[in-house]
Amino acid sequence: MTRLHCLVLLIAIHVVAGEIKNVGWWKNAVFYQIYTPSFKDADNDGVGDLKGITSKLEYLHETGIDAIWLSPIYASPMKDSGYDVSDFRAIHYQYGNAKDFDDLIKKAKELGIKVILEFIPNHTSTEHLWFLKSNIQDKRYADYYIWRNRTVDGKPPNNWLNIYGKSAWECPQYRKDCYLHQFHSNEPELNYNNPHVQVEILDIMRFWLDKGVDGFRINAAAYLFEDENYLDEPLFYFPGVANDGYNSLEHIYTKNQNKSYQLVQNWTNFLRDYADSRNTDEKVLMTEVYADFDNTLNYYKSGVQIPSNFFLITHTNSSSSPREFQNFVLSWMSIYHLKVFQQREVIPNWVTGNSDQKRTATRHPGRSDQMTMLAMILPGVAVTYYGEEIGMVDKSDLSFEDTRDLAGRNAGPNNYKRYSRDPSRTPMQWDNTTNAGFNNGSKPWFPIHQNYVNISLAAQKAANASHYKIYAKLINLKKTRAAIISGTLLIDTLADDKSLVVIRSEKNESIVLVINFSNETVTLNVREHVPSIGQKVTVEVATLESSIKEGSSVNLDKLTLGRNQALVMSTILHEQLTTNNPPNSTSNNGSLLVSSAVCVLVFLAAFLS
- In 10 A of CB 242, how many CB atoms? 9
Kindly state whether residues 372 and 424 are assigned to the same domain: yes
Domain boundary among 442, 471, 500: 471
Kindly state the average pLDDT of the residues 298-323: 91
Q: What pLDDT sits at residue 294?
A: 81
d(CA 86, CA 77): 7
Q: What pLDDT sits at residue 408?
A: 87
- The residues, any chain, with a CB within 8 Å of residue 11's CB and separated by 6 or more, are 336, 341, 346, 347, 379, 602, 603, 604, 605
Kindly state whether residues 365 and 254 are assigned to the same domain: yes
Q: What pLDDT sits at residue 405?
A: 86
Positive or negative: CA dihedral 61, 67, 72, 74 = positive
On whether the CB atoms of residues 180 and 232 are closer than 8 A, the answer is no
Q: What pLDDT sits at residue 18?
A: 54
Residue 429 has pLDDT above 70, yes or no: yes
Q: How far is CA 214 from CA 102, 274, 536, 558, in A?
A: 13, 11, 43, 47
Kindly state whether residues 373 and 415 are assigned to the same domain: yes
- The residues, any chain, with a CB within 8 Å of residue 42's CB and separated by 6 or more, are 49, 51, 52, 54, 55, 439
Confidence of residue 242 (pLDDT cuts 50, 70, 90): low
- Whether 402 maps to a domain, the answer reads yes
Q: Which residue has the higher pLDDT, 160 or 237?
A: 160
Tell me the average pLDDT of the chain: 88
Q: SS3 of 593, please?
A: strand
d(CA 68, CA 415): 33
Q: What is the CATH number of the domain that holds 114?
A: 3.20.20.80
Kindly state whether residues 217 and 359 are assigned to the same domain: yes
Kindly state whether residues 466 and 503 are assigned to the same domain: no
Q: What pLDDT sits at residue 535?
A: 77
Kindly state whether residues 374 and 323 are assigned to the same domain: yes
- Whether 161 maps to a domain, the answer reads no
Kindly state the average pLDDT of the residues 480-501: 94
Kindly state the average pLDDT of the residues 168-191: 96
Kindly state whether residues 466 and 525 are assigned to the same domain: no
Kindly state the average pLDDT of the residues 549-557: 92
Q: What is the CATH number of the domain that holds 598?
A: 2.60.40.1180
Residue 324 has pLDDT above 60, yes or no: yes
- Whether 495 maps to a domain, the answer reads yes
pTM, two decimal places: 0.90
Kindly state whether residues 72 and 108 are assigned to the same domain: yes
Q: What pLDDT sits at residue 6?
A: 37
Partners of residue 218 on adjacent β-strands: 119, 287
On whether the CB atoms of residues 217 and 267 are closer than 8 A, the answer is no
Residue 3 has pLDDT above 70, yes or no: no
Kindly state whether residues 465 and 505 are assigned to the same domain: no
- Whether 249 maps to a domain, the answer reads yes
Query: For the chain, what is the domain count?
Result: 2
Q: What pLDDT sits at residue 20?
A: 84
Q: How far is CA 83 from CA 78, 127, 153, 379, in A?
A: 8, 12, 33, 32
Burial track 101-125 (b if 16+ CB lie within 10 A, e otherwise)? beebbebbeeeebbbbbbbbbbbbb
Q: What pLDDT sits at residue 371?
A: 96
Residue 181 has pLDDT above 80, yes or no: yes
Confidence of residue 231 (pLDDT cuts 50, 70, 90): very high
- Whether 457 maps to a domain, the answer reads yes
**Can you spell out the DSSP letters for 234-280?**
PB---TTS--SGGGGB--TTTSS-HHHHHHHHHHHHHHHHHHHHHT-
Kindly state the average pLDDT of the residues 78-92: 98
Confidence of residue 582 (pLDDT cuts 50, 70, 90): very low
Q: What pLDDT sits at residue 4?
A: 34
Domain boundary among 423, 443, 471: 471
Residue 13 has pLDDT above 60, yes or no: no
Kindly state whether residues 362 and 498 are assigned to the same domain: no
- Whether 448 maps to a domain, the answer reads yes
Domain boundary among 471, 503, 530: 471
pLDDT 10s digits, 444-475: 999 999 999 999 999 999 999 999 999 999 99
- Whether 551 maps to a domain, the answer reads yes
Residue 595 has pLDDT above 60, yes or no: no
Q: What pLDDT sits at residue 588?
A: 28
What are the start-end ranges of the H helices in 80-140? 98-111, 129-135
What are the start-end ranges of the H helices in 481-565? 482-486
Kindly state whether residues 466 and 493 are assigned to the same domain: no
Kindly state whether residues 396 and 502 are assigned to the same domain: no
Q: What pLDDT sits at residue 311?
A: 87
Confidence of residue 583 (pLDDT cuts 50, 70, 90): very low
Confidence of residue 377 (pLDDT cuts 50, 70, 90): very high
Strands 177-180 and 169-170: antiparallel
Report which of 358, 572, 384, 536 is spatially closest to residue 470, judged by C-alpha positions: 384
Confidence of residue 528 (pLDDT cuts 50, 70, 90): confident
- Whether 16 maps to a domain, the answer reads no
Residue 206, Ramachandran bin (φ over 0: left; ψ between -120 and 50: alpha; else beta):
alpha
Strands 499-506 and 559-561: unpaired
Residue 156 has pLDDT above 70, yes or no: yes
pLDDT 10s digits, 123-140: 999 999 999 999 999 999
Residue 68 has pLDDT above 80, yes or no: yes
Task: State which residues form the domain around 509.
Answer: 486-608
Rg (CA), the chain: 25
Partners of residue 405 on adjacent β-strands: none
